[in-house]
Amino acid sequence: MAARLRPVLGAGVIAATLLLAGCAEALPLAPPTRTTPPPHSVTGVPTVPDIKGGSAATVTLKGFSAYERASLRIRNISCQGVAVGSGFAVAPRVIVTNRHVVDGATALQIQTYDGRDRRVDTAGAATFADLAIVRLADDLPATLPLATSNPKPGDAITVVGYPGGGELKTSRGKVLRYGADIVGQSDEPMIINDAPIEHGSSGSPLVDSGGRVVGVAYAGKPEGPYWAVPVQLLRQIIDKPSEVGPIPPCE
Amino acid sequence: MTVPDEPGQTMPLPVHGPEAAPEPSDVAAPSDAGQTPGDEAQAPGDEATEGAVRRPRSPRRWPTILAWTLVALCVISLGVLGYGYKQSLDSSRDWKALADSTTTELESSRVQLDRTSETLTKTKSALDDTRKALDETKGNLKEVAGQYNDASERIRQLASEKAKVGDQAGMLSTAVEQAGRLQEQLDACVTGLRDLQTYLVNAGDYDAASLAKLVAQVNSGCDEAQSQSKAFQEWLKGQ
């Protein structure tokens, strides 16, 4: 009997398979496994409000630059009257200017960019170039660093000083070349540049694009060009105080 | 289920005709040669047995097979249907569970979305307030920057004005100093002239050469003083 049941059982399985196959679409199948969040069909949700764009702030401050803060106005009172020049701070109590700015002074008066006075302690002048060092009894508001090498022709420079003894002004230009001292006081080559200066600008710093002093303005023709002492000569009198002598008396 | 298929339990069936041949295996066939009178004597009493021996078997088996087949098909069909029904119930349960979880999740998402929307609205309001404050601050900053620039420019101007005042003070101090020196020269001139006047009144009492030298000195000093005075006046005009 067992041998006979096999075909019957096989037929039953086949029939069942056919039945299941016929009902496959009718019968609910197992739900698929979700891999992503279901989409939300939500109504009545407030939309994202637009955010108004603000106007860009265009605020420009016209204060004093670092160059200006380190610049100084020097008044030379001598037997011949009053002369005005420029200078700049290389240390909190040390300023650099031209020798001809302090020559013959019976009194030197120093004023900062914002009009404050500083008392002078001592002053001395170099013999090999138109440079002078003035030491103060009071601290200065800002100082300028010195470059380690002289500027090259074509380098951009900025000059800050008191042209005409008036307001603090800034002019820009570039190094043209090196040439002989226009006043013949030095044998060293001097910087010839086209940054405009006037009387009263003597002693102004020439600042490179990195904010370092590369020269000290001291002379020029009214229409230009203009002369300046290179920074390496300035370093000589700063590094060697023996290079600095007394200021010539008023004659 | 048991089926009365055993030969001993088979009910005798009537013989329908000579076409039903006896089964030699079930009953021993009578032999003409070996049949004894005693055997014949027992024949009338064994008619029923003889009839059973002669019954045909084939006509009795196919209904049974058919019945078994139908029963088996019914059982299998019931099983398949039951299995399908169970699967259907399970699938429905799964779908319902999924629907319930999706509904719960949707509600949760809806609540979360509502909260997010509420937060967004509040944030937008706060952002608008902040932007208004920022605009106001920008306005103030612009105003302050303008004031700063004005103050810087004013400092520039005041520093220059103070410097010029200092220059004038320096010039005045120089002028005072020069005026003092000039006054000394003029005083010397006046004193020299006064002395010279005294000497000239009594000129005969003095050596003429010495008197002439003194006159020359006084005149030189006065000329120098006059020159300095004129230069000083020119210097003052130039300042």
DSSP B133-198: HHHHHHHHHHHHHHHHHHHHHHHHHHHHHHHHHHHHHHHHHHHHHHHHHHHHHHHHHHHHHHHHHH
| Nearest-CA distance B59 → chain A (Å) | 19
Q: Which residues pair with A105 in a beta bridge?
A: A78
Give the count of domains, chain B.
Answer: 1
Is there a domain that residue B96 lies in?
A: no
Q: Which residues of B touch A170 (CB under 8 A)?
A: none
What domains lie within chain A, and their CATH numbers?
A: 66-245 (2.40.10.120)
Question: What is the structure's pLDDT at B211?
Answer: 87
Is B71 in CB contact (< 8 Å) with chain A?
Answer: no
**Using one digit for the tens of pLDDT, what is the confidence trace for B189-220?**
999 998 888 888 888 888 888 888 888 989 99
Domain range enclosing B194: 168-238
Identify whether B188 is part of a domain: yes
Q: Is residue B47 part of a domain?
A: no
Mutate to test the interface with A, among B80, B181, B234 (most CBs of A within 10 A): B80
pLDDT > 70: what percent of chain B?
75
> Choosing among A47, A71, A77, A111, which should be mutated to test the B contact, i.e. which has the most B CBs within 10 A?
A77
Cβ of B170 and A28 within 8 Å? no
The answer, yes or no, to whether residue B52 has pLDDT greater than 80, is no
**Quick check: is B176 in a domain?**
yes
Asked if B72's CB is within 8 angstroms of A9's CB, the reply is yes
Give the pLDDT of residue B57: 58
Q: Over the stretch B113-147, which tens digit does the pLDDT of each residue have?
A: 999 999 999 999 999 999 999 999 888 888 888 88
Identify whether B117 is part of a domain.
no
Domain membership of residue B21 (yes or no) is no
Q: Choose among A74, A114, A250, A232: nearest CA to B170.
A: A74
Taking only the tens of pLDDT, chain A with its 251 residues reads 333 333 333 434 344 433 433 433 444 455 555 555 544 444 544 455 555 555 555 777 788 989 999 999 999 998 888 999 999 999 999 999 999 999 999 999 999 999 999 999 999 999 889 999 999 999 999 999 999 999 999 999 999 999 999 999 999 999 999 999 998 888 999 999 999 999 999 999 999 999 999 999 999 999 989 999 999 999 998 888 888 899 888 87
pLDDT higher than 80, residue B32: no
Looking at the domain assignment, is residue B198 inside a domain? yes
Q: What is the pLDDT of residue A37?
A: 52
B202 within domain boundaries:
yes
What is the predicted pLDDT for the residue at B58? 59
pLDDT of residue A235: 94
Which residue would you say has higher pLDDT here, A241 or B54? Answer: A241
C-beta of residue A159 within 8 angstroms of C-beta of residue A171: yes
Nearest to B158 among A9, A78, A115 (CB): A115
For testing contact with chain B, the best of A62, A74, A106, A170 (most B CBs within 10 A): A62
Q: B42 CB near a chain A CB, below 8 Å?
A: no
Percent residues over pLDDT 90 in chain B: 38
Structure tokens at B208: 């003429």
Identify any residues that bridge with A191 across adjacent strands, giving them in sequence order: A178, A228
Would the CB atoms of B113 and A75 count as touching at under 8 Å?
no
Q: Which of A172, A218, A216, A215 is nearest to A194 (CA)?
A: A172
- Per the CB < 8 A criterion, the answer to whether A70 and A143 are in contact is yes
The answer to whether residue B6 scores a pLDDT higher than 70 is no
